[in-house]
């Protein structure tokens, strides 16, 4: 099979790594990819939202299956674009159509969906510019801290946790009347704050049945000890030690199954990944958010643990017979440490030459923000490389990934040396 993978980050490098391992793969194309994805396939310089260009590439190269990595093309309707085009509609796309992508594209939609289907989540109310006064009055009745969320996609920045009533009121006004997050905050979800510890579970579905993929935990803050600004993710581990079978059984029965059944009841077709961000509050799971894609850097820890043929699983999604496929998961633990550019998540410089990649022998390096420039690999993004180690114990995986993170060099390189160590007793 010829496969086209859309995206350019660490998540896509991990996808490419798995796809290239499959005997079912003839040729892999990555649009646009990065310096690392060329180990696994051919990069094609196309933007992830250039649907026409992507469609033309599929016809030219005889693509049999498209896997979409990031949310933006899904929320913008790449799957619908294929279905509405006579020449492209027979090419299966892994990733939901626009209707399903709303689970990530609109917080209000996803909250309504959870409420409709009895899925545990924080209490909430939604307001617009026209109902600002009601929103301000609602805030008065709520306990602190309180969570304000821009309804639409806001590049991961649209969630504010306010600790005083004054701050919450100011932020609500800024979001609704001053368009703090642009169109994304024309609607704001005000949500109860959930206490607990976060983790994520991942589901692959063909819209009929589903497979529960390994759980993972990511580390969002830039600084050690979970301090400083939020980032896209500085590292991850899989599995998550505190997500024991009892907890995962609750997640499956109260959240995963009702989500798949809810999509069916609502008549929303869904073929792809569902990333469920969870809060474990005293042993009970609550949904914080849905994403309609895999996580980054969670994918870099989750995929190395999948022992079954990944392309065969994708085929099951495409053909609607996922229930007949087997999912074999390694008992080992994966730990991922992300190397980022100096200054990230604020301002940073691109174009720093990267050296020492050949020093890494025991971990797998997934490129995230890199570019090939002649003979050199250079930085081209905030998150540059993801270093993943797979070992028998969490401690060994963390130690290996952290040690290997120190073996690569580029000017300004930063990484957290404490990823996952909070999970060791
Ligand atoms: P989201 O974009 O919805 O994932 O939110 C970003 C982050 O905000 C989450 O990963 C949580 O750390 C935090 N967060 C979101 N909603 C809540 C909530 N209801 N209670 C506590 N923390 C939250
Ligand atoms: N690591 C969080 C995300 O992919 O959204």
Q: What is the pLDDT of residues 297-334, one digit of tens each?
A: 999 999 999 999 999 999 999 999 999 999 999 999 99
Task: Indicate if ligand 2 lies below 6 Å from the C-beta of 298.
Answer: yes
The Cα 215–Cα 156 span in angstroms is 21
pLDDT in tens, 1-31: 999 999 999 999 999 999 999 999 999 999 9
Q: Which residues touch 357 (CB under 8 Å, ≥6 apart)?
A: 365, 377, 408
Q: Which of 47, 78, 96 is the last residue of a domain?
A: 96
Is-above-0.85 flag for pTM?
A: yes
Q: How many angstroms separate the CA atoms of 369 and 52, rounded?
A: 25
Residue 64 lies in a domain: yes
Ligand number, closest to the Cα atom of 233: 2
Ligand sitting nearest the alpha carbon of 234: 2
From 202, 295, 300, 336, give the residue whose CB has the most ligand 2 atoms within 8 Å, as the site to mutate.
295
pLDDT confidence of residue 144: 95
Cα 301 to Cα 18: distance, rounded to the nearest angstrom:
12
59 shares its domain with 133: no
In a domain, 218, yes or no: no
Last residue of one domain, picked from the residues 55, 81, 96? 96
Per-residue exposure over 336-368, b if at least 16 CB sit within 10 Å of its own CB, e if not: bbbbbbeebbeebeeebebeebeebeebbbbbb
Query: Given this model, what pLDDT does residue 393 score?
Result: 97
One domain for residues 138 and 177: yes
Tell me if 273 is assigned to some domain: no
Ligand 1, atom nearest to 291 Cα: 4
Residues 89 and 39 in one domain: yes
Would you say residue 154 has pLDDT above 90? no
Same domain for 144 and 90?
no
Strand partners for 227: 223
pLDDT at position 425 over 80: no
pLDDT at site 155: 78
**CATH code, 146:** 3.30.1490.20
The answer to whether 239 and 306 are in contact (CB under 8 A) is no
Tens of pLDDT along 191-207? Answer: 999 999 999 999 999 99
Of 160, 192, 224, which one is at a domain's C-terminal end?
A: 192
Are 340 and 414 contacting, i.e. CB atoms less than 8 angstroms apart?
yes
What is the C-alpha to C-alpha distance for residues 405 and 339, in angstroms, rounded to an integer?
A: 7
Torsion of CA 93, 385, 105, 211, to 10 degrees: 50
- Domain-embedded: residue 267: no
Helices (H), 196-349: 245-251, 257-265, 298-302, 310-319
Instruction: Give the atom of ligand 2 at the shortest distance from the alpha carbon of 294.
Output: 4
142 contacts: CB under 8 Å, gap ≥ 6: 190, 192
Are 89 and 144 in the same domain? no
Same domain, 91 and 130: no
Q: Which of 301, 115, 268, 136 is nearest to 202 (CA)?
A: 301
What pLDDT digit, counting tens, does each position of 345-371 carry?
Answer: 999 999 999 999 999 999 999 999 999
Which atom of ligand 1 is found nearest the CA of 277? 4
Any domain includes 182: yes
Residue 100 in this model has a pLDDT that exceeds 80: yes
Query: Are the C-beta atoms of 386 and 400 separated by less than 8 Å?
Result: no
Q: How confident is the model over 94-103, as a mean pLDDT?
A: 98
Domain count, the chain: 2
Per-residue pLDDT tens over the stretch 155-204: 778 899 999 999 999 999 999 999 899 899 899 999 999 999 999 999 99
Whether residue 387 is contained in a domain is answered as no
Q: Is residue 230 part of a domain?
A: no
Ligand 1 atom at shortest distance from the alpha carbon of 122? 19
> Which residues span the domain enclosing 154?
123-192
Residue 24 class from Cβ within 10 Å (0-12 exposed, 13-18 middle, 19+ buried)? middle
For residues 7 and 85, membership in a common domain is answered with: yes
71 lines ligand 2 (CB under 6 A): no
Q: Using one digit for the tens of pLDDT, what is the confidence trace for 373-415? A: 999 999 999 999 999 999 999 999 999 999 999 999 999 999 9
Domain CATH for 19: 3.40.50.20
Query: Is residue 56 domain-shared with residue 137, that is, in the same domain?
Result: no
Within this chain, do residues 181 and 140 fall inside the same structural domain, yes or no? yes
On whether residue 41 sits in a domain, the answer given is: yes
């Amino acid at each position: 099979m010829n496969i086209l993978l859309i995206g350019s980050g660490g998540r896509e490098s991990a996808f490419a790594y798995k796809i290239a391992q499959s005997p079912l793969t003839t040729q892999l194309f990555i649009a646009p990819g990065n310096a690392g994805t060329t180990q696994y396939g051919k990069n094609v310089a196309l933007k992830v939202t250039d649907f026409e260009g992507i469609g033309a590439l599929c016809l030219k190269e005889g693509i049999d299956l498209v896997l979409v990595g990031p949310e933006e093309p899904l929320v913008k309707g790449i799957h619908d674009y294929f279905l509405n085009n006579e020449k492209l509609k027979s090419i299966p796309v892994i990733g939901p159509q626009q209707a399903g992508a709303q689970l990530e594209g609109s917080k209000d939609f996803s909250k309504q969906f959870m409420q409709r289907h009895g899925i545990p989540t924080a209490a909430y109310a939604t307001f617009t510019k026209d109902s600002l006064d009601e929103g301000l009055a609602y805030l008065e009745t709520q306990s602190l801290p309180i969570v304000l969320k821009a309804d639409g996609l806001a590049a991961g920045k649209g969630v504010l946790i306010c600790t005083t009533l004054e701050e919450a009121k100011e932020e609500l006004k800024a979001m609704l009347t001053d368009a703090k997050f642009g169109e994304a905050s024309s609607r704001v979800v005000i949500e109860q704050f959930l206490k607990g510890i976060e983790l994520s579970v991942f589901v692959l579905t063909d819209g009929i049945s589903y497979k529960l993929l390994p759980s993972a935990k990511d580390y969002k803050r830039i600084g050690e000890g979970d301090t400083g600004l939020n980032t896209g993710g500085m590292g991850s581990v899989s599995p998550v030690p505190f997500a024991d079978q009892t907890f995962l059984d609750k997640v499956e029965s109260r959240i995963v199954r009702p989500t798949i059944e809810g999509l069916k009841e609502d008549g929303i077709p869904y073929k792809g990944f569902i990333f469920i961000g969870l809060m474990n509050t005293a042993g009970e799971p609550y949904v914080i958010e849905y994403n309609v894609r895999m996580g980054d850097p969670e994918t870099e820890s989750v995929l190395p643990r999948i022992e079954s043929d990944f392309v065969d699983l994708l085929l099951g999604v495409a053909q609607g017979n996922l229930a007949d496929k087997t999912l074999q998961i390694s008992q080992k633990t994966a730990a991922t440490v992300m190397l980022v550019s100096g200054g990230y998540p604020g301002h940073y410089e691109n174009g720093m030459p990267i050296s020492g990649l050949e020093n890494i022998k025991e971990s797998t390096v997934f490129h995230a923000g890199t570019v090939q420039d002649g003979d050199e690999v250079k930085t081209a993004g905030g998150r540059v490389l993801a270093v993943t180690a797979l070992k028998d114990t969490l401690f060994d995986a963390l130690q290996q990934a952290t040690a290997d993170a120190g073996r690569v060099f580029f000017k300004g390189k930063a990484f957290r040396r404490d990823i996952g160590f909070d999970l060791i007793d």
